[in-house]
Structure formats: structure tokens, C-alpha cells
Amino acid sequence: NANAFAFASEYLDKPFFQLNYPSSIGDDRSQQYHIDDYKEMIKFAEKHSGNKLDYDRLAEVLSEVDKQDAMIADLEDMLMLKPTPVPPVFNLLLYAGRFCFSGRREFTLLLESMLKITKENAAAGISGLKNGEEKLRMFMCYIDHYTVDLNFCHFLEERGIAHIGSILTRNFRDNNQYAQEMPGSSYGIDISSPDAMLDTIAQMNARLPMVRSIRGPYDKKGMWLEESLICAKMYDADCVIYNGTPGCRNTWGMVKPFARDMEKHGYPTHIMYDDAFDDRVESWEATRERLDEFFKIRGLL
């Protein structure tokens, strides 16, 4: 992907800046490297846009992010409840909203409505599933299935399968329980000065899903396997499901040994062979049939 952007820059004769990602995070050297590189990116954007970064506006945005992170932490805590009062589609709204509208008031309003519904379900002791019965708790160790009108969510609702999140759901804010299990993997928010704010957004960027947990060997400390095991245990998963796209070359290159390791730790693991965004790779009917077969053969449903 990085080479593709560099090629496009050369071909189109457009300015290009590549933000480097350190091979490790959490130690002082890599933290400072990433912060310095992030500041260079901002200088690059200021130079080519002719505008300066508005630190007052940035402080407002980060304050809104702080509110959003607190609500996300509440929702993630409630995913641990049995039955979980969180509807399956809320997982998608959590990370899609954060990726596209982080710091925007609109996302705060969405989270408030999601939290209200979930708290009402929790107070009543009922499942977030439409059928009202939680039969199975499923952890998505990568991404969800999005094509054909989110039929995947309907599939989960019909079968009583609680979606307890994916790696995209997790934001690794320092007030989240799972972040405490992986020291150095979380971020905080500090708006006390321009430098503190730049440090904050650099560290938020370094802890985005995929770049945080899939940046090298899957079984290295603080990486994909450790994160998945921590989340599967903490959220009491009955099984683990992998889904991706043909473009997810990094995970496809190591998903089979990853799945074997998850199985060794007692988690039945299924690899979906569809494309999360394009049902021409594998039809939804075939995907659904393989999922049903997995749940039946493994005695999960």
C-alpha cells in the first residue's frame, strides 16, 4: 500500500508524505520517534495547504474525543455482561463512528443514544439480540462482514449469537480494562499545551487497530495473538471468527498458525474465506452455510 501511494505521487506529480510506524510502541525511544515524525507530517500539511494548525480547535476536538472515549468504555464494559445488552450492529457503529467522526458532536449524540438503549437492556437483564436469547458469544479477531445489507448482523440475531466485538472495536484508551493487560499499548488525552496535544494525537494514531496489533510477527508480545487471547478471555468468548478481504495480506499470511494457536488455548476458531466488502469472492449463501457448519460440527449451536 505504501508503495502504491509513492507511485501515485510520482505519477501524478503530487506532494507525498509517508508517516513511518515504529516496530514497537510503549518505550520512550519509539514514542519519541513517532511523535517527531507526526510533527513533521503536520509541518508538511501546513506547508502545502497554506494554513496553520488551529490549536484551540484541536483542543475542542480532543475534549469531545475524551467524552466519546468514556462512553465507548462503558459500552465495552457492558459487552462483558451475560447476556450482553449490546446489539450486534453497535460494534460496527462504534468503530465506524470513531474512524470517520471522532471528535465530532454527531458521533457523541450517536454514542449517547447507543448507551441509553444498552443501559436500559442491562437494567432489565435482557440481551441486545432481537430474539432475546443469547446462545453463543462470538469474538471477531479481525473485521466484520459488511456486504449484502449487513446480512451478517441479521444472521447473528436469528441464531442468538452475541457479538462481543472485534479488534476494530477496541480503541486502547488508558481507562479500558483490556488495555491494563497490555502495558504500553494505551493512550491518554492531554490538552494542556500544543505539544501535549500533538503528543496525544500521535499516540492515538499509533494505537489504531491493525497498525497497532498487526505490525510484525502475530505472536510477538503486544501483537495480534496476545490481544485476541486477552479479549477472548475477558469477554468470555465461546468461539473466535476470522474475516478479512483479499487485500488483508498481512493477516492472510499468518491466519492459519494464528488459528491453531487460538485452538490450543481452547477457543474454537473459524476462518471465513469471503471478502468483507464484495460478495463476488464468495456468495453470502456459501459464507452462511460454512458458518452454520462450523457451529454445528463444533457443538456450539
Q: How far is CA 286 from the centre of its chain?
A: 26
Q: Please identify, in words, the CATH class of the domain defined by 54-297.
A: alpha beta
Backbone angles phi, psi at 166, to 5 degrees: -135, -175
User: Residue 134 and residue 85: Cα distance in Å, rounded?
Assistant: 10
Residue at 53: amino acid letter: L
Q: Please write the tens of the pLDDT for every residue from 85-124.
A: 999 999 999 999 999 999 999 999 999 999 999 999 999 9
Supply the pLDDT for residue 213: 85
Is 90 exceeded by the pLDDT of residue 249? no
pLDDT-derived band of residue 34, with 50, 70 and 90 as boundaries? Answer: confident
User: Residue 211 and residue 209: Cα distance in Å, rounded?
Assistant: 6
Supply the pLDDT for residue 1: 63
Q: Please write the tens of the pLDDT for every residue from 146-196.
A: 988 889 999 999 999 999 999 998 888 988 888 888 887 889 999 999 999
Domain boundary assignment for the chain:
54-297
